[in-house]
Amino acid sequence: MSALQACLLFSSALFALGLAAALARRTAILVLLALELMLSAGTVNLVAFWRYGPRPADASGLLFVLFAIAISAAEAGVGLALVIAVRRHHASIRLDQPARLKG
């Protein structure tokens, strides 16, 4: 197994872990954490393809990762704000409680 394959296996495992957690957990914060896990699995892929790709010397992979980290930080900020809004509204952060948007 090459190093790239190992990285991809690792990232798929990370993604699967995140997906399972996002589906199984009922607390919004933990689901948010699981989403971050899935996002970092994608980031690991980016880095792996850069590192073992044709041009590992330039910094494109690292820059991708920096952007991905910045975006996921922003996403976490929005997510937490949503969690707080839901908490204010429903006095709970369990995801199965707020189902009032249904049409």
Partner 1 sequence: MRATAEHLWAIPALPLAAAAVISLLPRRCARAACWFATASVASGLVWSLAALAEAARSAGPLVANFAWFQIAGAPVRLGLLLDPLGAAMCVMVTAICTAVFVFSGGYMAEDRNRKAFFGYLSLFAAAMLGLVIANSLLLLFVCWEIVGSASYLLIGFWHERPAAAAAAKKAFLTTRIGDLGLFLGMLWLYRSDGTLLFYDHGAGVLDPAVLGRLAAPTGIALLLFCGAIGKSGQFPLQVWLPDAMEGPTPVSALIHAATMVAAGVFLLARVYPLMAADQALAQVPFHALSVVAGIGALTALIGAAAAVAQADLKRVLAYSTVSQLGYMMLAIGVGSWVAAIFHLLTHAFFKALLFLGAGSVIHATHHEQQLRRLGGLGRRLPATFATFAIGAMSLAGVPFLLSGYWSKEAILHAAAGWAPSRLPLLAALAGVALTAFYVTRMVALVFAGEARAPAAAHATESGPSLVGPLFFLSLGAVLLGFVGTPGRPWLQSFLTGAPLAREAPLGAPSLVLLSAGLLVAGAAAAWSLYGRRPARSADAPDPLAQRWPRLFPFLAAGLGFDRLYARTVVRAATFAAAAADDLDRTIWDGSVRAVAAAAVRTGAAGRSAEERALNGGFSAATAGMRRGARAIHDRQRGRAQFYLGALAAGFIALAAAIWWEGRP
Binding positions for partner 1, rule: CB under 8 A: 19, 22-23, 26, 31, 57-59, 62, 95-96, 98-103
- Residue 88 vs 102, nearer CB to partner 1: 102
- Residue 59 vs 84, nearer CB to partner 1: 59
Nearest distance from C-beta of residue 2 to partner 1, angstroms: 20
* CA separation for the pair 100, 51 (Å, rounded): 46
Phi/psi for 91 (5° steps) reads 55, 35
| Contacts with 83 (C-beta within 8 Å, 6 or more apart), sequence order | 28, 29, 32, 93
Nearest distance from C-beta of residue 19 to partner 1, angstroms: 6
- Residue 57 vs 91, nearer CB to partner 1: 57
Partners of 27 in beta bridges:
94
